[in-house]
Amino acid sequence: MKERQTILILGAGSDIAKATSRKFASEGYDVLLAGRDIQQLERLGKDLISRYGVDVSCHLFDAVIFDSHDNFVQNLNSTPDIVAYFVGVMYEQKEASDDWNKAKTTIDANYTGAVSIINRLAKKMLEKGNGHIIGVSSVAGERGRGSNYIYGSAKAAFTAYLSGLRNELFTKGIQVITVKPGFVNTKMTQDLELPSKLTAQPQKVGDAIYNAVVKKKDIIYIKPIWYYIMQIIRMLPEPIFKRMKL
């Protein structure tokens, strides 16, 4: 009997991560849930076991406590087949500009912590000789905008990191996928007025991530229109762009 594959969900408490865990569990994957709120993860885990009959384990993980990452990886029973990084923090631009601790948390959660943990897990995957690494980045990282340049710059760095990692690991049997969701209807965006045609639901993101693994995609936009929007924004000359309120 073929052994079930496993997916490690880092930042499993987010709405997108929950939807992704449900999608992979429905496809027969065992799930490792990792995050800061163990009780929340255990509730999700019980639901996945009840609905899909898969094995689920819950693990304490904090992306910004770098010194804990070695122990986290060592305490996993085995190297997961898929690693997915969903951790994200987004403050209002003024909050992040005025408060260095919030700026640092934004950078660490969205970029530095991702590099710290993914580097360690990628090394394990290299020993195994196969696997998938999924990083949820953002269209905000495609060009610095006055409305969110602290968050956007962290996501830009994460996107560049994933691109380089993909370039390094592709010939070694490891697929690296960059996810750029655009607007998603989650707790993090609940206070924002989002245009419905540009906004995805979490389950749509989970489905798209699963399909990207199956089809061995490199970069995915959950709503394809975001690809064209960002193409236009990237092409705007700087003398024009700097005068725009974006």
What pTM, to 2 d.p., does this model score?
Answer: 0.94
pLDDT tens track for 191-200: 667 778 899 9
Q: What is the pLDDT of residue 1?
A: 47
pLDDT tens track for 50-106: 999 999 999 999 999 999 999 999 999 899 999 999 999 999 999 999 999 999 999
Rounded mean pLDDT, 154-160: 98
Q: How far apart are CA 136 and CA 155, in angstroms?
A: 9
Q: What is the pLDDT of residue 197?
A: 85
Query: How confident is the prediction for the chain on average, in pLDDT?
Result: 95
Q: What is the pLDDT of residue 190?
A: 67
Cβ-in-10-Å burial (0-12, 13-18, 19+) of 126 comes to: middle
Is 116's pLDDT higher than 90?
yes
Domains of the chain plus CATH, in order, are 6-241 (3.40.50.720)
Q: How far apart are CA 25 and CA 10, in angstroms?
A: 15
Where are the extended beta strands (E) located within the chain?
A: 6-10, 30-35, 56-60, 82-85, 131-136, 174-180, 183-184, 199-200, 219-221
pLDDT tens track for 9-58: 999 999 999 999 999 999 999 999 999 999 999 999 999 999 999 999 99
Least confident among 109-113, 143-147, 195-199 = 195-199
171 CB-near residues (< 8 Å, 6+ apart):
none
